[in-house]
Amino acid sequence: MEEGETGLLLQSNKELLSSGYSIHEYSEEIKKIKSALTWVFLDQSNLWRAGLSWSLFFILTIGVPLVSHFMFACLTCDTMHQRPFDALVQVSLSLFATLSFVSLSSFARKYGIRKFLFLDKLYEDSEKVQQGYTEQLHRSMKILSSFVLPSFIAESIYKIWWFSSGGTQIPYLYNAALSNIFVCILLISSWLYRISISFLVCVLFRLICSLQILRLEEFAQVFEKQSDVSSIMIEHLRIRRNLRVISHRFRVFILSTLILVTISQFLALLLITEPSSTVNIFTAGELAVILHSHLLVHFLLLIT
């Protein structure tokens, strides 16, 4: 896969240079996308990386949340350290992460990074479209960080407080301090991994749609000035085909996301409104963060 991508880039260098496009800038943005995939261990370019990717997925998405829920349920703790909504938090977050991970893995295996992001044919577009898409590539990583960091910071603060103030109420192995530090880091890592994957698919979907918007804007300008019907129809059919491809690739993910968001919000409403539920920032803080993140995922898909 890597050799094919390198060959494709070398093959298109001539076209990119003739349009005045910066190959170095283009390559840097591609490296950032690859780095993001590597950072969340989604690089499955060879067998070893694919095995590592799936192993970490099972550990951080299924293993850690499952063990955490049963070992740190803290049913005998004081009301501030009890976690009555933890099951919904862990299940909903893991389901979103699983849906996103499976979708990204399928995209990477079928198309590769360049073809999935429509970069293999980008040299055919105008310089304006190429530069606009490069800017969107750069912005996509910032957008991902802006969505992930607030949730990560909130969860980190909560977890650090929960373990540091729980004392001997929280189960531990051998040494309470070392055990709590290790488990706290592991749980925060699991949260960061799952929330990053959930938002990454949405950011990539927005990125791909932005390219089509740039092409449509360029097409509208050409349509006003150019009288060659054949070239106009060819460009129209190309944009139409790309939109159909995007719809086909993401429709299962978007529909599944809508269903998961609806179910999680409805279940949260049922649990919170129960007469016996104790709802405050300590018991329902994590639930509020995850529900807010789910709504942001859905909102990001809709506004795209």
80 Ramachandran zone, left/alpha/beta (phi>0; psi -120 to 50): alpha
Over residues 64-70, the mean pLDDT reads 89
**Backbone φ and ψ of 37, nearest 5°:** -65, -40
pLDDT for position 52: 82
Spatial neighbors of 179 by CB under 8 A, at least 6 apart, are 172, 173
Residue 124 carries which side chain, given as an amino acid letter? E
Spatial neighbors of 128 by CB under 8 A, at least 6 apart, are 214, 218
pLDDT for position 138: 80
Least confident segment among 55-64, 226-235, 278-287:
226-235
DSSP string spanning 128-145?
A: HHHHHHHHHHHHHHHHHH
CB-based contact 119:30 (threshold 8 Å): yes
Percent of the chain topping pLDDT 90 = 20
**pTM given for the model:** 0.81
Helices marked H in the chain: 2-18, 23-39, 47-57, 64-71, 86-110, 112-116, 127-166, 176-225, 229-272, 281-303
> Residue 236 and residue 123: Cα distance in Å, rounded?
17
Return the structure tokens found at 61.
């998405």
pLDDT (tens digit per residue) in 159-182: 999 888 876 677 777 777 888 888
pLDDT (tens digit per residue) in 93-117: 999 999 999 998 888 788 877 788 8
Query: What's 210's DSSP letter?
Result: H
